[in-house]
Chain A
Amino acid sequence: MPARRPTRLAKWLISGPPLLYLLVFFAAPTLIMVLASFRSPGEFGGLAPLVDAAGKLDINVDSYVRFFTEPVFFQVFVKSAWYAALTTVICLLLAYPLASLIARSGKKHRDLLLLLVILPFWSNFLIRIYAWMIILGPNAALAKLVNRVLAAFGAQPVPLLFSSFAVLVCLVYVSLPFMVLPLYANLEKHDQALLDAAQDLGANAWQRFWRITFPLSLPGVYAGAALVFIPALGIFAIPDILGGPDDTLIGNLIKQQFLETRDWPFGSVLSIMLTLAALVLAGTAAWIGRRSAGDSRA
């Protein structure tokens, strides 16, 4: 079989470099992290020696025990999941009409609108977050307006910045394009004939949306939800910069363990738990999605 060897070689040549990249920069660090989670923290950060002066091997599950026995960590996880879920829902509600509008506009307008959706990516992520500091700051027009309205109703003034509100607003802001794009890609492919047929068969505008457009857009909704939810779950920069003292999320906790507390093993445990949580939640969502899609078909 002289013809087979070159094709196999070609396969390896094509898939080799990305495979190597993933091995070196994803699989290996993950493995190191898993190994680190079973060790003790070093005196000045890093890890304690594998074999200490007494000849004792440093392998333990102390960090895991700590994670599962102190409820504060679980609470942070729940809070992170709540923020991420809220962000996902708000993004979906905002992105759906926007994506429909873009999908339905003419070719010329469509490209311009898509450009506007991805335009924020042209400036740096951190700069965009700092911009929100200014927008929500106490001396900005927005805060003044809100507090004037509140004062009119006799309420105490509130700070917009350094609050859960600021974190959520910014999370929605940075996540929105990731919801709009998959939704647009899905809605753009919808066949107008299906909506015509539904209307011909007696469906009003709401019924056409709910029975035809929405169920057919579910793959886009799931893709967008995953792209928003999973990054939002691990975010740390936004609560760091815009959040108040109560807005510590898992991302912040992990960053603290590595950069401030210098407890690498516990930071590794938190990272592993975050990865597992994302996997479980995404898997559950996909399973529910498949089931509900099956139900609407039946």
Chain B
Amino acid sequence: MALLDIKGVTRRFGDFTAVDNVSLSIEAGEFFTLLGPSGCGKTTLLRMIAGFDLPDAGRILLNGEDLADRPPELRPVRTVFQSYALFPHMTVEGNVAFPLRMAKVAAALRPARIKAALEDVRLVGFDKRYPHELLGGQKQRVAIARALVTHPTMLLLDEPLAALDAKLREELQIELINLQKEVGIAFVYVTHDQTEALALSHRIAVMNRGRVEQLDEPSRIYGFPQTKFVADFIGQCNLYSGPVTANAGGVVTIDVAGLGPVRVAATSSIAPGASGTVALRPEKTRIAAGAAQDTPDNHYRGTIAALRYMGDVTVYIVETPGGTRIEALLANSQSGRAKFFEVGDAVEMSWPVDAGHFLAE
């Protein structure tokens, strides 16, 4: 039995369906992420797990028990809010003590529990400080310590790193991974940041318009997106659609306007004439100045239309004579060279048939 079962949950606000018949299970000890753009229903789903909102249809079960009749204060789950929601009139110690007081933990037992929780989040020596005397990252740690001090069965995190700067965010991502391993409880993490989701999670549910588009491990979400939305939302992706012209020997050929036939390895039973899409990550393409070699790869001529130098890598936008754009990414790993091509250079694009990923429609 899964720790948390969400069964056919729907939530509507007037005409707007925020969460549309979502079913998923979260296992004990799992780092589970709800990923999607704003308005996709991820936060609404999280609020329903916490109890701040109730489903219009469907059920939420924790350890097999329906949570419908339990208000938030009686659910054994804790939330870390985006704004941290630290109590401004209480010290760090007072904030962490709050859930212990509510749970009627004897005063004599509290200091040890508070100390342990603050050590878990590596915030020692700030007990007597007030929230306004803390930095963003420190506030975040207090919020997590406060949520963990009563040993909940599940921790819900609502975009907890969104308000922090990039450097600190990366630091805290690593700490969150370690913390989750240490405390061993399930984390349900809501974010719109796909790199954060990929870095942190055991499994990711990619949500769009209230539905779960794909639920999988990070590497499969990135490598084998099942829908155009997932391919596009997670990382950069070239998406080429067109009618299927051939399907033989494990290779599907699609005729893409402005590009020509694109061949992609796929075990699909799709018949010629149906339309399909190839999803191609920029880092899986090859870009060269020379002419095409005699290989089974896809080959296209083009010119560099634009480029974005990003330090470690450079992104080249190559335009074919037919006007189709291909995004290619090249690591600037060779010393002494900032980039390989300039805007206007004629280049040859190529990628093996197994570089792309076929999406039937």
Co-assembled chains A and B? yes
User: CB < 8 Å: which of A202, A212, A296 contacts B150?
Assistant: A202
| Structural contact, A216 and B88, CB atoms closer than 8 A | yes
Nearest CB of chain B from residue A152's CB, rounded to whole Å: 45
Q: Which chain A residues lie closer than 8 Å to B87 at the CB level?
A: 194, 197-198, 212
| Structural contact, A198 and B50, CB atoms closer than 8 A | no
How far, in whole Å, are A296 and B94 apart by their CA atoms in the complex?
9
CB proximity to A under 8 Å, residues B94-127: 94, 98-99, 102-103
Q: Which chain A residues lie closer than 8 Å to B102 at the CB level?
A: 201-203, 207
| Structural contact, A191 and B103, CB atoms closer than 8 A | no
Known: A198-B87, A200-B147. 9 other contacts (CB 8 A): A194-B85, A196-B85, A197-B85, A201-B147, A202-B73, A207-B102, A212-B87, A293-B89, A297-B130
Closest to A216 in B: B89
Q: Which chain B residues lie closer than 8 Å to A109 at the CB level?
A: none
Closest to B94 in A: A297
Interface size classification for chain A: 20 to 34
Nearest CB of chain A from residue B121's CB, rounded to whole Å: 16
- Chain A interface (Cβ < 8 Å from any Cβ of B): 191, 193-194, 196-204, 207, 211-212, 215-216, 293, 296-298
Question: When A and B form their complex, which 6 residue pairs have the shortest distance between CB atoms, in order from nearest?
Answer: A202-B102, A197-B85, A201-B99, A193-B85, A199-B72, A200-B79
| Structural contact, A201 and B81, CB atoms closer than 8 A | no
Nearest CB of chain B from residue A210's CB, rounded to whole Å: 11
Q: Within 8 Å of chain A (Cβ to Cβ): is B214? A: no
Q: Within 8 Å of chain A (Cβ to Cβ): is B90? A: yes
Q: Which chain B residues lie closer than 8 Å to A207 at the CB level?
A: 102
With A201-B146, A202-B73, A211-B98 as contacts: A193 and B88 at CB distance below 8 Å:
no
How far, in whole Å, are A293 and B130 apart by their CA atoms in the complex?
13
How far, in whole Å, are A177 and B10 apart by their CA atoms in the complex?
45
How many residue-residue contacts, CB under 8 A, span A and B? 65
How far, in whole Å, are A191 and B147 apart by their CA atoms in the complex?
19
| Structural contact, A198 and B98, CB atoms closer than 8 A | yes
| Structural contact, A191 and B89, CB atoms closer than 8 A | no
The secondary-structure label for the interface of chain A is helix
Closest to A192 in B: B85
Q: Within 8 Å of chain A (Cβ to Cβ): is B78? A: yes
Nearest CB of chain A from residue B173's CB, rounded to whole Å: 23
| Structural contact, A200 and B91, CB atoms closer than 8 A | no
Q: Which chain A residues lie closer than 8 Å to B99 at the CB level?
A: 201-202
Q: Within 8 Å of chain A (Cβ to Cβ): is B321? A: no
With A216-B88, A297-B90, A297-B130 as contacts: A201 and B98 at CB distance below 8 Å:
yes
| Structural contact, A202 and B52, CB atoms closer than 8 A | no
Q: Which chain B residues lie closer than 8 Å to A191 at the CB level?
A: 83, 85
Q: Which chain A residues lie closer than 8 Å to B258 at the CB level?
A: none
Nearest CB of chain A from residue B189's CB, rounded to whole Å: 16
Q: Which chain A residues lie closer than 8 Å to B344 at the CB level?
A: none
User: CB < 8 Å: which of A204, A211, A298 contacts B73?
Assistant: A204
Q: Within 8 Å of chain A (Cβ to Cβ): is B71? A: yes
Q: Which chain B residues lie closer than 8 Å to A293 at the CB level?
A: 89
Q: Which chain A residues lie closer than 8 Å to B52 at the CB level?
A: 196, 199-200
Nearest CB of chain A from residue B354's CB, rounded to whole Å: 48
**What are 27 A-B contacts defined by CB distance under 8 Å?**
A191-B83, A191-B85, A194-B85, A194-B88, A196-B79, A197-B86, A198-B98, A199-B52, A199-B71, A200-B52, A200-B147, A201-B73, A201-B78, A201-B99, A201-B146, A202-B73, A202-B103, A203-B73, A203-B98, A203-B102, A204-B73, A207-B102, A211-B98, A212-B87, A296-B89, A297-B130, A298-B94
Q: Mark B62-89, 1 if CB is under 8 A from A, else 0.
A: 0000000001111000110101011111
Nearest CB of chain B from residue A277's CB, rounded to whole Å: 31
User: CB < 8 Å: which of B74, B85, B91, B147 contacts A298?
Assistant: B91
Of A191, A197, A198, A199, most B-chain CB atoms within 10 Å: A197
Q: Which chain B residues lie closer than 8 Å to A296 at the CB level?
A: 89
User: CB < 8 Å: which of B73, B88, B89, B103 contacts A200?
Assistant: B73
Q: Mark B309-323, 1 if CB is under 8 A from A, else 0.
A: 000000000000000
Nearest CB of chain B from residue A287's CB, rounded to whole Å: 18
How far, in whole Å, are A297 and B51 apart by their CA atoms in the complex?
29
User: CB < 8 Å: which of B72, B81, B130 contacts A193?
Assistant: B81
Q: Mark B123-142, 1 if CB is under 8 A from A, else 0.
A: 00000001000000000000
Nearest CB of chain A from residue B126's CB, rounded to whole Å: 15
Q: Which chain B residues lie closer than 8 Å to A204 at the CB level?
A: 73
Q: Which chain A residues lie closer than 8 Å to B86 at the CB level?
A: 197
